[in-house]
Copies of this chain bind each other. A is one copy, B any other.
Amino acid sequence: MSALAVTQEDVARRAGVARKTVSNVISDYPHVSDRIRKRVLAAIEELGYQPNRAAQNLRTGRSGMIGLAVPELDVSYFAELTRLVVQATERRGLTVLIIQTFGDLIREHASLNGFGHQRLIDGLICSPIASSGDDILNRGGGFPVVLLGEQVSVAPDHAGIDHVGIDNVAAARTATEHLLSLPRRRVAFVGASRSTDSHMADLRLAGYRQALASAGVPLRPELVFSVNGYHRRDGAEAGRRILALPPEERPDGVFCANDLLAQGLMRALHDTGYRIPHDVAVVGFDDIDEATYSIPSLTSVSPDKAQIAETAVALLLDRVNGSDEADHDTVTDFSLVVRESTAGPRR
């Protein structure tokens, strides 16, 4: 390790110049003669010099890293999004520090505060679950934040926060309307939040309600299923609750708040011999890779993840660089991808 601790000082000695001249060459200071520049660059090459990021960070106050706080990486949607954010960030020469919050308020708070003001990151892209709008505004990090996903209701006069995401209400309405158009009449919603603080779930439930209302279908509270979480097991559990209903009260269509719930639900229904889509049509949300390959393949709302990632990174870096101080609330595109789980009429 010591063998490779090449500093600007070493380079300077090798090139026969002052240490500061090496620094000047590196930072593209304009007034450096070509002769010296070449000599320094040659020495850098020969010694394999690489800047010490800790020193740069200490001197400049910038870490060259941005944080990405997501609930869980083993939820495919976040894994796919993370990949895209990392790629977008690396294209711009920065590093991403990935933080898993596990939906835990304390961890979210810690990341919003930049890990206790340790200035590990220059900015944060955050997919909040537990944090309220107030938590986010009262953050102490002092760095720019871009929120992903559901719109958190923040007062407009609080600067420093951008938002990127799709219109969850419209997307959920589209999904539900699709089920109604098959046609299905007993359309359930799986994924209301049992802990009552998931804004995402509220928005998707609102879209579901709007679609029912527009179609003149009465909302049946017994067809709105709450969940403890948004994993396959929670979907399976909801499926078992559906099966506990008297047969004539069971839904013939289900809109799930995300794809994992839908997968678990389909699995539970399948166990009892239910056929999808013949007995129950299912729509998911997120369009993870698995939705294409599952049996049956899953109709799903597909947010434009690449657009989300690209926009979030661009907005954040604009702020980090101070080139844009305005607050942005960017609504990204989505589409409904129709697959086997809603193909065909009720048998």
Give residues in A with beta carbon < 8 Å to B. Answer: 1-6, 48, 50-55, 57-58, 63, 72-74, 76, 79-80, 82-83, 86, 95, 97-98, 100, 115-120, 140-143, 231-232, 236, 263-264, 266-267, 270, 289-290, 292-297
Nearest B residue (CB) for A264: B293
Are B295 and A53 in touch, CB under 8 angstroms? Answer: no
**In-complex Cβ contact of A295 among B2, B55, B266 (8 A):** B266
- Give the residue of B3, B83, B97 whose beta carbon is less than 8 angstroms from that of A100: B83
Chain B: CB-nearest residue to A143: B1
Known interface pairs A4-B140, A290-B263; A74-B63 also in contact (CB < 8 Å): no
| Known contacts A2-B142, A50-B116, A57-B58, then 9 further A-B pairs from the complex at CB < 8 Å, ordered by chain A residue | A4-B140, A6-B117, A51-B118, A58-B58, A74-B82, A267-B293, A267-B295, A295-B295, A295-B296
Q: List 13 A-B contacts (CB under 8 A).
A: A4-B117, A48-B140, A53-B120, A57-B58, A74-B79, A79-B79, A95-B115, A98-B98, A231-B289, A263-B290, A263-B293, A267-B297, A290-B290
Q: Which residue of B lies closest to A57 (CB)?
A: B54
A73-B63 in contact (CB<8A): no
How many copies the complex holds: the figure is: 2
Do B264 and A142 have beta carbons less than 8 Å apart? no
Taking a contact as CB atoms closer than 8 A, the residue among B52, B55, B117, B293 that contacts A232 in the complex is B293
Which of A95, A141, A236 counts the most chain B CB atoms within 10 A? Answer: A95
CB distance from A270 to the nearest CB of B (A): 5
Chain B residues whose CB sits within 8 angstroms of the CB of A116 once the complex forms: 50
**Chain B min CB distance to A276 (Å):** 9
Taking a contact as CB atoms under 8 Å apart, the answer to whether B58 and A63 are in contact is no
Contacts of A63 in B (CB 8 A): 54
A267 cross-chain contacts in B, Cβ below 8 A: 293-295, 297
- List residues of chain B with CB within 8 A of the CB of A263: 290, 293-294
Complex Cα distance, B63 from A55, in Å, reads: 11
Contacts of A54 in B (CB 8 A): 54-55, 57-58, 63, 119
Q: Which residues of B contact A292 (CB under 8 A)?
A: 232
Chain B residues with CB under 8 Å of A86's CB are 100
Whether the Cβ atoms of B142 and A3 lie closer than 8 Å is yes
Assess the B50–A290 pair: CB atoms within 8 A: no
Specify the chain B residue showing the minimal Cβ separation from A269.
B295
Give the distance in Å from the alpha carbon of A86 to the alpha carbon of B63 in the complex: 21
Beta-carbon nearest neighbor of A97 in chain B? B97
C-alpha spacing A63/B118, complex, angstroms: 12
Q: Find the B residue at minimum CB distance from A77.
A: B74
> In the complex, which residues of chain B have a beta carbon less than 8 angstroms from the beta carbon of A289?
74, 231-232
A84 to chain B: closest residue by CB: B74
Cα–Cα distance between A208 and B80 once the two chains are bound (Å): 32
Chain B contacts for A120, CB-based, 8 A: 53, 95
Q: Which residue of B lies closest to A120 (CB)?
A: B53
B residues near A236, Cβ cutoff 8 Å: 293
Contacting pair B140 A290 (CB below 8 A): no
How far is it, in angstroms, between the C-alpha of A79 and the C-alpha of B100 when the chains are bound?
A: 11
A82 to chain B, nearest CB (A): 5
Residue contact B119 to A53, C-beta cutoff 8 Å: yes
Taken together as a complex, chains A and B put the C-alpha atoms of A149 and B171 apart, in Å, by: 41
